A and B are shown apart, each in its own frame.
Chain A
Amino acid sequence: MSIRVAKTGNEAVAEGMRQINPDVVAAYPITPQTEIVQIFSSFVANGKVDTEFVTVESEHSAMSATVGAASAGARAMTATSANGLALMWEIVYIAASMRLPIVMPVVNRALSGPINIHCDHSDTMGARDSGWIQIFSENAQEAYDNLLQAVRIAENKNVLLPVMVTMDGFIISHAMEVMHLLEDEKVKQWVGEYVPENPLLDVDNPVTVGPLDLYDWNMEHKRQQAEAMVQAKPVILEVARNYAKLSGREYGLFEEYMLDDAEIAIVALGSTAGTAKEVVKALRADGVKAGLLKVRVFRPFPACEIARALQGKKAVAVMDRSDSFNAVSGPVFAEVRSAMYGIENAPAIVDYIYGIGGRDVTMDHIRSVYDDLAKIAKTGQVERTLTYLGIRE
């Protein structure tokens, strides 16, 4: 049976990494991810893992070393946040296009500037088109579960893409709560022996890694990369089914919370979804047909599935914890609204940008969004598409 413990999100992810026991971890500490690297390095120092731990001088080097290790044939991991991810940028794209199954926890934090250490999703949303699979976590348990599943998703031969597993900085990374760990032996069997595809160190079968790829074949290779993202969707679901057998915890591309008969619904990612669940419960007790759709897998984006789940609702609000500065909406709204274009009985849909730079989102805030939705559902009128939730102006 699983082990019931009190852990912070960072501790949970570090435990998961210990159990995965990757061949190589190359990482650089950055708030609020620091503890993951700190705790994991103590596992290395104490001989709890066999990992070659590479201390690097920057995140650009962290991702470069991880790419090098993965190309060589190692199961390789790193972890980062915000500006660290930004500094990796060049190599983040290269990792995906080289089809390296790297797994990287990202502890969501606002990208500078102004400088800020708290949670928003601007870091991973910025990397949404980098070719990485992106899985968001509501709490410490999900960060741990998603991490273990990420290894199997990334390394699946139909996928071979790197995976980011996110959790909200401080809100989850530094908050202690109840969670369940799997036994070490179970995780060892779950991730299994890593068999790399075309490793550089297989000298009997020499390969070229990272060659020049101009207009003759580059487009075909990018097309294959796009296809891998399509193929990832059924793999993610299959891995989730197997993980449910192992852990008893079920995951999908997204979670539907009291959504079936809901008339108004919020779409949210990360820890806010947890707070919203409590609001939904309270609204249901008052007879309001409120529901929630929590996006777990943002890349590949489950467009058809989400459209189907929201079809027939009267009004839907998308919660965006980052801004696109495109004079239209946040990034999640753009995806969700686009997914619903042309479907019958599409709901009215509005966007709320919230929680930027760690701004707290309270149950009252979320309730006010449902109040707005109830009004839209009743009148059929959308006064404004985009609202900055709780802003002083």
Chain B
Amino acid sequence: MAKLLEIRWHGRAGQGAKTAALVLAEAVISTGRHAQAFPEYGPERMGAPMQAFNRISDESITIHSHVERPKIVIVLDPTLMSTVDVKAGVPDDGIYLINTPLSVAEIRKKLKLDASKAKVYTLDATQISIDTIGRPIPNTPMMGALVAATGLLTLDELIGDTRIKLAKKLRPDVVDKNIEAIRRAYQEVAQ
């Protein structure tokens, strides 16, 4: 793993980008590594474009500025690709993980990444969450896709941590549905 890994989440307020970043940090921290999670706070209104960030490292992290050059970008809402520069600051060999029904080739074209070294992954996380959880909450399956694409955590680590966390506030059958969403995403993410 790179010494310091930075991640940027793009979502719309209310879609769970902040929660996803917090859940990821907590899961990483529980494996003994260091992590930060923080959202960008603007005028908060449902549906407004927003960002959340992670930093992950084997060593303690003292930087407390925004993430400007993320290695990994995760887009929870595909419509944001037309309004927000999701590529801003990302290195040529960056990793993009997009929630979309479109194919990887179509996203590469849309983001003008055809000839780039960047890795692009796609997943219809919204559909998966509707199928499994019964509601359009893409952040849970996107976590499964993220660990599949990056190996930041093992699938077991993610599921174990998510289970503990969700069990505190959800019924066991709802927890199972969330786990099912993660498993499906882990398998279905395309590169």
The smallest C-beta distance from B25 to any residue of chain A, in angstroms, reads 5
Whether B63 and A274, one on each chain, are in contact in the complex, defined by CB atoms closer than 8 angstroms, is yes
Query: Shortest CB–CB separation between residue A217 and chain B, in angstroms?
Result: 47
In chain B, positions 10-55 with a C-beta closer than 8 Å to chain A are 22, 25-26, 29-30, 34-39, 41
Bound-complex Cα distance A361 to B65 (A): 6
Q: Chain B residues in contact with chain A, CB under 8 A?
A: 22, 25-26, 29-30, 34-39, 41, 60-66, 68
Closest to B18 in A: A174
> Are the CB atoms of A360 and B41 closer together than 8 Å?
no
Contact A172–B22 (Cβ < 8 Å): no
Render A320-362 as a binary contact track against B, CB cut-off 8 A, 1 for contact.
0000000000000000000000000000000000000000111
Q: Is the CB of A174 within 8 A of B38?
A: yes
Query: Using Cβ atoms and an 8 Å threshold, which residues of chain A touch B34?
Result: 177-178
Q: Which residues of B contact A275 (CB under 8 A)?
A: 62-65
CB-based contact B66/A362 at 8 Å: yes
Say whether B60 contacts A362, CB under 8 Å.
Answer: no
Q: How far is the CA of A125 from the CA of B132 in the complex (A)?
A: 52
Count, A-B residue pairs, CB within 8 A? 62
Residues of A contacting B41 in the complex (Cβ-Cβ under 8 angstroms): 117-118, 170, 174
Of the candidates B39, B62, B64, the one whose C-beta lies within 8 Å of that of A168 is B64
CB distance from A246 to the nearest CB of B (A): 20
Question: Chain A residues with Cβ under 8 A from B64's Cβ?
Answer: 139, 168, 171-172, 175, 271-272, 274-275
Given contacts A6-B26, A6-B30, A362-B68, contact A175 B38 (CB under 8 A): yes
Q: Which of A168, A175, A360 is in CB contact (< 8 Å) with B36? A: A175
13 contacts between A and B (CB under 8 A): A5-B29, A117-B41, A118-B41, A170-B38, A171-B64, A174-B38, A175-B36, A175-B64, A176-B35, A272-B64, A361-B65, A363-B63, A363-B65
Judging by beta carbons under 8 Å apart, are B63 and A278 in contact? yes
Task: Give the distance in Å from the alpha carbon of A176 to the alpha carbon of B23 in the complex.
Answer: 10
Q: Which residue of A lies closest to B28 (CB)?
A: A6
A5 cross-chain contacts in B, Cβ below 8 A: 29
Known contacts A6-B35, A117-B41, A170-B41; decide if A178 and B65 are in contact (CB<8 Å).
no
- Residue of chain B at shortest CB distance from A355: B65
A 114-154 contacts with B by CB, 8 A: 117-118, 138-139
Q: Does A313 contact B (CB under 8 A)?
A: no
Closest partner residue, chain B, to A278 (CB atom): B63
Q: Which of A138, A176, A274, A277 has the most CB of B within 10 A?
A: A176
A164-182 contact mask (Cβ, 8 Å, vs B): 1 or 0: 0000101110111110000
- Size of A's binding interface in residues, CB under 8 A: 26
Query: Which of B26, B60, B65 is the one whose CB lies under 8 Å from A360?
Result: B65
The residue in chain A whose Cβ has the minimal distance to the Cβ of B34 is: A178
For A178, list chain B residues within 8 Å (CB): 29, 34-35, 60
How close is B6's CB to chain A, nearest CB, in angstroms?
Answer: 12
Nearest CB of B to A8, in Å: 8
Q: How far is the CB of A56 from chain B (nearest CB, A)?
A: 25
Interface string of A1-34 (1 = CB under 8 A from B): 0001110000000000000000000000000000
State A139–B39 Cα separation when bound (angstroms).
16
* Complex: chain B residue closest to A361, CB-CB: B65
Q: Which residues of B contact A138 (CB under 8 A)?
A: 62
Return A265 CB to nearest CB of chain B, in Å: 17
Residues of A within 8 A of B (CB): 4-6, 117-118, 138-139, 168, 170-172, 174-178, 271-272, 274-275, 277-278, 360-363
Give the distance to chain A from B185, nearest Cβ to Cβ, in Å. 23
Our pick among B26, B39, B65 for the contact of A174 (Cβ within 8 Å) is B39
A168 to B36, alpha carbons, bound, how many Å?
Answer: 15
Closest residue of B by beta carbon distance from A273: B62
Minimum CB–CB distance for A334 against chain B, Å: 25
Instruction: Tell me how far the C-beta of A271 lies from the nearest C-beta in chain B, rounded to whole angstroms.
Output: 4
With A117-B41, A176-B22, A178-B60 known, 8 other A-B pairs at CB within 8 A are: A4-B29, A6-B29, A170-B41, A176-B25, A176-B35, A177-B37, A177-B61, A274-B64
Q: Is the CB of A177 within 8 A of B36?
A: yes
**Bound: A363/B4 CA distance, A:** 14
A176 touches B37 (CB 8 A): yes
How far is B64's CA from A274's CA once the two chains are assembled, in angstroms?
7
Give, as a whole number of angstroms, the nearest-CB distance from A137 to chain B. 11
Q: How far is the CA of A177 from the CA of B24 in the complex (A)?
A: 11
B63 contacts A360, CB within 8 Å? no
For the complex, give the distance between the alpha carbons of A113 and B13 in Å.
26
B26 touches A176 (CB 8 A): yes
Report chain B residues within 8 Å CB of A117: 41
A-B interface, 5 closest residue pairs, ranked by CB to CB distance from nearest: A175-B38, A274-B62, A271-B64, A6-B29, A176-B37
Highest count of chain A CB atoms <10 Å: which of B29, B60, B62: B62
| Nearest CB in chain B to that of A32: its residue | B41
| Most chain A beta carbons < 10 A, residue from B30, B38, B39 | B38
Residues from chain B with Cβ under 8 Å of A176 in the complex = 22, 25-26, 35-38
Evaluate contact between B25 and A278: CB separation under 8 angstroms. Answer: no
**Which of chain B's residues have a CB closer than 8 A to the CB of A360?**
65-66
Residue of B35, B39, B41, B61 with highest tally of chain A CB at under 10 A: B41
| B53 smallest CB distance to A (angstroms) | 9
Q: Of all chain B residues, which has the CB nearest A172?
A: B64
Given the known interface contacts A6-B25, A176-B26, A178-B60, the answer about A362 and B37 at a Cβ–Cβ threshold of 8 Å is no
A171 proximity list for chain B (CB < 8 A): 38, 64
